[in-house]
């Protein structure tokens, strides 16, 4: 029997959904304003655990699509969720919620900082925060490796692909487009084969 | 920093960011190295300090990471106006910079994502859709690690920069392994930096 990835057998509580476009706007504003150094953690906590707009399984699926599409992940996610419930205007409401207040805030910060940018303390502080920010991004990447365990291509192939990507982009500094087209196409083709003709039935790989 | 931006320059900036928008798989931040090449090395519209402080300011502020592009746009505008001292001209050009770069980086990817995900959601059980998701996953994850790596590697003088590398490594491990609030780490980085320890 085909397993619908959207049917989460563990979901005991009934799911909720956004009540209105205003609800979308405020929810995304609220999440954005809590998200320092990336919004992923906050989004998961809020949408899955508090608002219960989606199950964990649905979240992982939505998130991987949001990641794979070009563009900022959280922006993509807001468009997807807003669009699902209220069409284009819902997508725009969620997007505006996500961006409006943080944009005003960050530009205010930039102006204030502009006045003190010659100050060695301010420069030092930014240098330190920059190093922490780099660490945050690396950690997010490391955390998401867990999602690869279930991948149909198998853990080893995933690891090889990840290492090749790192060597290509991080060490050899190849243009991103080459890596995406080269490795990406190969990976998708391999996944297509591994999924088999009945690929739609399973998410995880089953050894023959 | 003073620069001159003509209308074709603004247009070129917009076009370049539209292109980057479509290449920004895994987030706009994965194209940061390319932005650096274009804005700092090739066009000289921002200097190195402005580029990295734009990144850091956006990280220090709440909201999606893509806002670093807005801060860069603001700074390009200020440079074109000759600094914040230019008054209303600085404001106008700053806001123009924000609009040009944010629209560039967001519009193409958002339209594509909206249309493609509506389609993919309707066809989510299709073999091709699943293969795409599975195939791209490890690459997307590695690109995140790459971005952090490239930010760190920009500080390339071991004798001076080793404390930064240590801080980045420790942060990565702490965030990976614990649930500590990220604000504490950013604050710690700011304090260590302000004290001149890194």
Residue B74 lies in a domain: yes
| Cβ within 8 Å, pair B138-A159 | yes
Cβ A124–B196 below 8 Å, yes or no? Answer: yes
- On whether the CB atoms of residues A81 and A53 are closer than 8 A, the answer is yes
pLDDT digits (tens, 9 = 90+) for B124-178: 888 988 888 788 888 878 887 887 887 787 777 888 889 999 999 999 899 888 8
**Across the interface, do A83 and B118 touch by the CB < 8 Å criterion?**
yes
Tens-place pLDDT, residues A97-106: 999 999 999 9
What is the number of alpha carbons within 13 Å of residue B192 lying toward its C-beta? 19
Is B167–A132 a contact, with Cβ atoms under 8 angstroms apart?
yes
**Torsion region of A13: left, alpha or beta (phi above 0 gives left; psi -120 to 50 gives alpha):** beta
* A100 close contact with B: CB closer than 8 A: no
Residue B138 belongs to some domain of the structure: no
Q: How many domains does chain B have?
A: 1
Give me the pLDDT at residue A202, please: 46
Residue in B116, B140, B141, B144 with CA at minimum distance from that of residue B128: B116
Is B194 part of any domain?
no
Cβ contacts of residue A9 below 8 Å, gap of 6+? none
Residues of A in contact with B146 (CB under 8 A): 141, 165-166, 169-170
Domain hosting B90: range is 7-126
Rounded Cα gap, residues A199 and B141, in angstroms: 23
Tokens of A125: 């502080």
Beta bridge pairs of residue B62:
A36
**What proportion of chain B, given as a percentage, has pLDDT over 70?**
99
Structural tokens at position B19? 């292109």
Best mutation target among A80, A130, A171 (most B Cβ atoms within 10 Å) is A130
Cβ atoms of A129 and B186 within 8 Å: the answer is yes
Please state the rounded mean pLDDT for residues B92-116.
94
If one compares B174 and A180, the residue with the highest pLDDT of the two is B174
Which is nearest to A112 in space by CA: A103, A122, A120, A121? A122
The answer on pLDDT for A11 being more than 50 is no
CB < 8 Å to A3, chain B: none
Give tens-digit pLDDT for A45-92: 788 778 889 877 677 667 777 877 888 888 999 999 999 889 999 999
State how far the Cα of A35 lies from the Cα of B104, in Å rounded to an integer.
23
A155 touching B, CB under 8 A? no
Spell out the domain ranges in chain A: 13-116, 149-200
Residue B173 within any structural domain of the chain: no
- Is the pLDDT score of A208 beyond 50? no
Helix (H) or strand (E) holding A67: helix A56-68
Q: Is residue B181 part of a domain?
A: no
At residue A193, does pLDDT exceed 90?
yes
**pLDDT at site A204:** 45
Give the Cβ contact number of residue B22 at 10 Å: 15
In a domain, B1, yes or no: no
Answer yes or no: is B196 within a domain.
no
Contact B145 A170 (CB under 8 A): yes
Does the distance separating the beta carbons of B54 and A102 come in below 8 Å?
A: no
Judge whether B35 lies within some domain: yes
Neighbour count for residue A136 (Cβ, 10 Å): 25
């Amino acid at each position: 029997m085909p397993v619908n990835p959207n049917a989460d057998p563990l979901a005991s509580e009934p799911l909720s959904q956004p009540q209105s476009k205003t609800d979308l706007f405020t929810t995304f504003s609220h999440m954005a304003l809590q998200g320092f150094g990336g919004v992923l953690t906050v989004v998961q906590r809020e949408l899955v655990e508090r608002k219960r707009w989606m199950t964990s399984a649905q979240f992982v699926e939505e998130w991987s699509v949001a990641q794979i599409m070009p563009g900022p992940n959280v922006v993509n996610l807001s468009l997807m969720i807003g669009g699902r419930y209220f069409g284009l205007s819902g997508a725009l409401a969620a997007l505006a919620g996500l961006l409006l207040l943080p944009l005003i805030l960050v530009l205010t910060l930039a102006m204030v900082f502009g006045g003190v940018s010659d100050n060695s303390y301010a420069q030092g502080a930014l240098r330190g925060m920059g190093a922490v920010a780099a660490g945050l991004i690396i950690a997010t990447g490391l955390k998401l490796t867990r999602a690869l365990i279930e991948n149909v291509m198998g853990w080893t192939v995933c690891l090889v692909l990840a290492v090749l990507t790192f060597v290509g982009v991080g060490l050899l500094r190849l243009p991103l487009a080459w890596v995406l087209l080269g490795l990406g196409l190969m990976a998708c083709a391999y996944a297509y084969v591994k999924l088999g003709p009945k690929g739609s039935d399973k998410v995880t790989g089953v050894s023959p | 920093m003073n620069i001159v931006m003509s209308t074709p320059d603004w247009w070129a900036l917009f076009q370049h960011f539209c292109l980057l928008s479509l290449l920004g798989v895994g987030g706009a931040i994965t194209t940061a190295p390319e932005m650096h090449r274009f804005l700092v090395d090739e066009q000289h519209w921002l200097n190195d300090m402005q580029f990295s402080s734009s990144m850091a300011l956006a990280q220090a502020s709440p909201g999606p990471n893509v806002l670093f592009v807005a801060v860069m746009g603001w700074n390009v505008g200020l440079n074109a106006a000759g600094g914040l001292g230019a008054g209303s001209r600085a404001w106008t050009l700053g806001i123009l910079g924000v609009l040009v770069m944010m629209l560039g980086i967001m519009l193409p990817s958002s339209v594509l994502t909206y249309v493609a995900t509506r389609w993919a959601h309707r066809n989510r059980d299709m073999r091709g859709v699943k293969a795409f998701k599975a195939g791209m996953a490890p690459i997307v994850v590695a690109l995140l690690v790459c971005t952090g790596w490239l930010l760190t590697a920009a500080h390339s003088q071991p004798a001076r920069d080793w404390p930064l590398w240590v801080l980045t490594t420790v942060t990565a491990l702490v965030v990976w392994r614990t649930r500590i609030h990220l604000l504490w780490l950013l604050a710690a980085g700011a304090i260590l930096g302000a004290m001149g320890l890194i």
